[in-house]
Structure 1
Amino acid sequence: MPATTRERALEAAVELLGAEGVRALSHARVDRRAGLPAGSTSNWYRTRRALLGGVVDWIAERERADFDASAMPSIRDVGGLIERLSAMAEIQSGPFAARTRARYALFLELADDPELSEPLRRQRREFERWTEQIVVAVGVADPVPATRALMALADGLLLHRLTVDPGLDIRPAIERAVRALAERPGTTTPTPG
């Protein structure tokens, strides 16, 4: 099914934000990038604030669709957690890199605007809950701080890959962190041989 004018505008806005940052966002630039007639974006979003809100909602909506927890395979061991986190980081810094950059730019720009940033924050909380459930399922002690540590590591790796080193192999860092968090005092986690 072909994308609607609104969807084309929102996708173009995400690409624009991901490539040039929040300051570059304007109705006219979105129209040009989407190949839409002048004024198309403003038909959907009358103000820049409304456009920002639309983009925030769109990113959260797309991420929910792309990372639907109910459609993901069950993760029951440390190896599965390493695989899933590594795969998600690869996708976020690969095919979805523009969206990831746009999300980071919006988080920074909208930090003092709880109304506009709430859909992004809500999406983040959902992803944290999902990750915590997996951390519990694989038997990691202290799942809340472990989840926060993994989320912070993933954010750092993504940011580094998107800004400094596009070829960074992120799996070793994720594997080391997950295995360290999975170790219980007095035990060691076997490493693949």
Structure 2
Amino acid sequence: MIADAAIGLVAAAGLRGLTHRAVDGAAVLPAGSTSYYFRTRTALIVACYQRLAELDVGDIDDGNDGDNATTAVPSDREAAAAVLAGLLYRWLTVGRARQLARFELSLEAARNPELEPELHRAGQVARARAAEILAALGADRPQEAAELLAAWTDGLLYDRLAGALARSRPAPDLDELTAAARRMIDAALARAPGH
């Protein structure tokens, strides 16, 4: 509950809006509650990273119609493209604020070496899940393919949420996102020259 409130504040006001007192208010908790559980601002930001990773993996698992450890893996590229497009659509619509917070918090880790390991750890969770899916689809180097797919996904999300044309773009379209997802998956699964 505290991390969710903190993520909402970061999405709405950026990191300047992230204070223990503001989180108490947003979470409707007695004054001092947030600082009791997260003594420092750094600890609160780490909690945000962990919660964002948990929510992102939950979305991936939901998109695969899975449940925790027994997550179903898409059976082919078309199914994987549909899952990825669904995730992109969700993250650009109902999950928009959460993704904005994720980008904001990522930039903070780039400026604060103390936070970088936590961001890295949180980011590896979704990449590991993507590597599992890509391996099942026949990727020669699933981890490498997952890194590329994560970068392309982040790039598309950033462009649509905060890029120069973000405000002038039409609302997200599932067909358009499916076509983009299909191209990203095909590229991630393509064999490198000489392999």
Give TM class, smaller chain: 0.7 to 0.9
Match of 1:4 in 2: none
Q: Distance between the aligned counterparts of 1:55 and 1:180, measured in 2?
A: 32
Letter in 1 for 2:92: S
Q: Distance between the aligned counterparts of 1:42 and 1:54, measured in 2?
A: 12
Q: The residue matched to 1:46 in structure 2 has which SS?
A: coil
Structure 2 CA distance for partners of 1:123 and 1:71, relative to 1, 3 Å: farther
Q: Which structure is larger by alpha-carbon Rg, 1 or 2?
A: 1
How well do the aligned residues superpose, as a CA RMSD in angstroms?
2.6
Structure-to-structure mapping, 1:155-174, within 5 angstroms: 155-163=154-162, 164=166, 165=169, 167-169=171-173, 170-174=177-181
Q: The residue matched to 2:105 in structure 1 has which SS?
A: helix
Q: What's the offset of the Cα at 1:102?
A: 1.4
Q: Distance between the aligned counterparts of 2:18 and 2:106, measured in 1?
A: 15
Letter in 2 for 1:167: A
Mapped pair 1:23 → 2:16: yes
Match of 1:57 in 2: 50
Q: Once structures 1 and 2 are overlaid, which stretch shifts more, 110-119 or 150-159? A: 110-119
Match of 1:148 in 2: 147
Contact 2:93 2:172 in 1 (8 A): no
Q: What's the offset of the Cα at 1:64?
A: 4.2
Q: What's the offset of the Cα at 1:180?
A: 4.4
Letter in 2 for 1:105: E
Q: Distance between the aligned counterparts of 2:191 and 2:69, measured in 1?
A: 29
Structure 2 CA distance for partners of 1:171 and 1:44, relative to 1, 3 Å: same
Instruction: Describe the superposition over 1:66-106 as per-residue Cα deviations: whole angstroms up to 9, x where unpaired.
Output: 44563432222111211121122222223322222212111
The percentage of aligned residue pairs carrying the same residue is 34
Q: Distance between the aligned counterparts of 1:180 and 1:65, measured in 2?
A: 25
Structure 2 CA distance for partners of 1:182 and 1:116, relative to 1, 3 Å: closer
Structure 2 CA distance for partners of 1:55 and 1:127, relative to 1, 3 Å: closer
Long gaps (5+) in structure 2: 62-67
Q: Distance between the aligned counterparts of 2:133 and 2:86, measured in 1?
A: 15
Letter in 2 for 1:29: A
Q: Distance between the aligned counterparts of 1:86 and 1:19, measured in 2?
A: 25
Structure-to-structure mapping, 1:24-173, within 5 angstroms: 24-68=17-61, 70-163=69-162, 164=166, 165=169, 167-169=171-173, 170-173=177-180
Question: What TM-score do you get using the length of structure 1 for normalisation?
Answer: 0.76
Q: Distance between the aligned counterparts of 1:71 and 1:109, measured in 2?
A: 34
Letter in 2 for 1:168: P
Contact 1:76 1:134 in 2 (8 A): no
Instruction: Describe the superposition over 1:6-62 as per-residue Cα deviations: whole angstroms up to 9, x where unpaired.
Output: x2x322111001121112111121122222233222222233223223322332344
Q: Distance between the aligned counterparts of 2:38 and 2:146, measured in 1?
A: 37
Aligned residue among 170, 182, 185 for 1:178: 185
Question: What TM-score do you get using the length of structure 2 for normalisation?
Answer: 0.76
Q: The residue matched to 1:37 in structure 2 has which SS?
A: coil
Long gaps (5+) in structure 1: 1-6, 186-193
Q: Once structures 1 and 2 are overlaid, which stretch shifts more, 65-74 or 126-135? A: 65-74
Contact 1:59 1:103 in 2 (8 A): yes
